[in-house]
Amino acid sequence: MNDFDFNLGLEMALTSSAYRAAGQKTLKVHGLNDITREQFNILLVLSLSDGLYQTQIANILGKDRPNITRMIDILETKGFIRREKDETNRRILKVFLTKLGCDKVEIAKPLKERMRSVQCKGMTKDEIITLVTLLRKVRKNIEEEYKINE
């Protein structure tokens, strides 16, 4: 490559770790102690497209089905979501936000915007576009090489 020595995987892992820690800390600081960042991500996905199958949620979030099922069980117990049988296939369940779940997403939306602002601090719009484009290329390369999502 060149004289610039780096470990891209390590850099991405450290960035991901910092992002996850900041997300969880942000929820706690704002009194959202009753939900984890990963559970909140399920609510966020449902707020964008309510009535998804558990498999769809797992694919969107890049998590395995047992993990998603466990988190959905917890969210249902807390009253943030509800499951309903699919009208076309009664063996399959769809997941929907409850009023309480919608309220939780609304409370946290400004926090998400703040996180975005912090992430992009000191970057120009062109740098952000370049960063996103490059990260998408990295993800696509990995998905193609390791046949992820096939």
Tokens of 111: 């926090």
Tens of pLDDT, residue by residue over 99-139, are 999 999 998 888 888 888 999 999 999 999 999 999 989 98
Average confidence (pLDDT) over 56-60: 93
How do strand 81-85 and strand 52-53 relate by DSSP bridges? unpaired
Contact by Cβ (8 Å): 95, 57: yes
Question: Is residue 51's pLDDT more than 70?
Answer: yes
Phi, psi of 141 (to 5 degrees): -60, -45
Residue 82 β-bridge partners: 96
d(CA 7, CA 59): 27
Range 98-105 contact pairs with CB under 8 angstroms and sequence separation of 24 or more: 101/43, 101/46, 101/47, 101/75, 102/47, 104/32, 104/35, 104/40, 104/43, 104/80, 105/40, 105/43, 105/44, 105/47
Looking at per-residue pLDDT, the higher value among 91 and 43 belongs to 43
Predicted confidence band of residue 44 (pLDDT cuts 50, 70, 90): very high
Q: In what order do the strands lie in the sheet with 52-53?
A: 52-53, 93-97, 81-85
Query: Which candidate, 67, 74, 61, 65, places its Cα nearest to that of 35?
Result: 74
Tokens of 150: 């096939």
Predicted confidence band of residue 6 (pLDDT cuts 50, 70, 90): confident
**Average pLDDT value over all residues in the chain:** 90
Looking at per-residue pLDDT, the higher value among 60 and 147 belongs to 60
Question: Is residue 1's pLDDT more than 80?
Answer: no
pTM of the model: 0.77
Question: Is residue 3's pLDDT more than 80?
Answer: no
Query: Which candidate, 138, 109, 125, 104, places its Cα nearest to that of 16?
Result: 138
